């Protein structure tokens, strides 16, 4: 399909999102943007969150490690010399 930026720019403010960014998730009355917020919502909804403090700390560490790795990949992908 032929998609361009203008298609998103024309739609994003019509969705009723507090912060109209990609990705977004609309689940019933819940309208969520930002990758981590979406992932946390899905985990809570399906009872996948850590129950103990130790498990929750582990989740936080893994989330941040993933974000660090993702940022490094993004730097590489958006490098004009890539």
Give the per-residue pLDDT at 25: 98
Same domain, 7 and 39: yes
The pTM of this model reads: 0.75
Instruction: Say how many domains are in the chain.
Output: 2
Same domain, 12 and 30: yes
Give the per-residue pLDDT at 65: 95
Alpha helices in 1-82 (DSSP H): 5-11, 35-45, 53-77
Same domain, 17 and 2: yes
Same domain, 59 and 26: no
Same domain, 19 and 30: yes
In tens, the pLDDT along 24-60 reads 999 999 999 999 999 999 999 999 999 999 999 999 9
Give the per-residue pLDDT at 43: 93
Beta bridge partners of 25: 32
Work out the pLDDT band at 2, boundaries 50, 70, 90.
Answer: confident
Work out the pLDDT band at 81, boundaries 50, 70, 90.
Answer: confident
Same domain, 60 and 76: yes
Same domain, 29 and 69: no
């Amino acid at each position: 399909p032929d998609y361009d930026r203008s298609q998103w720019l024309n739609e994003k403010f019509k969705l009723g999102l507090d912060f109209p960014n990609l990705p977004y998730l609309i689940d019933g009355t819940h309208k969520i943007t930002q990758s981590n917020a979406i992932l946390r919502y899905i985990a809570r909804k399906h009872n996948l969150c850590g129950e103990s403090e130790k498990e929750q700390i582990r989740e936080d560490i893994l989330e941040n490690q993933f974000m660090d790795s993702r940022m490094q990949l993004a730097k590489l992908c958006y490098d004009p010399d890539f």
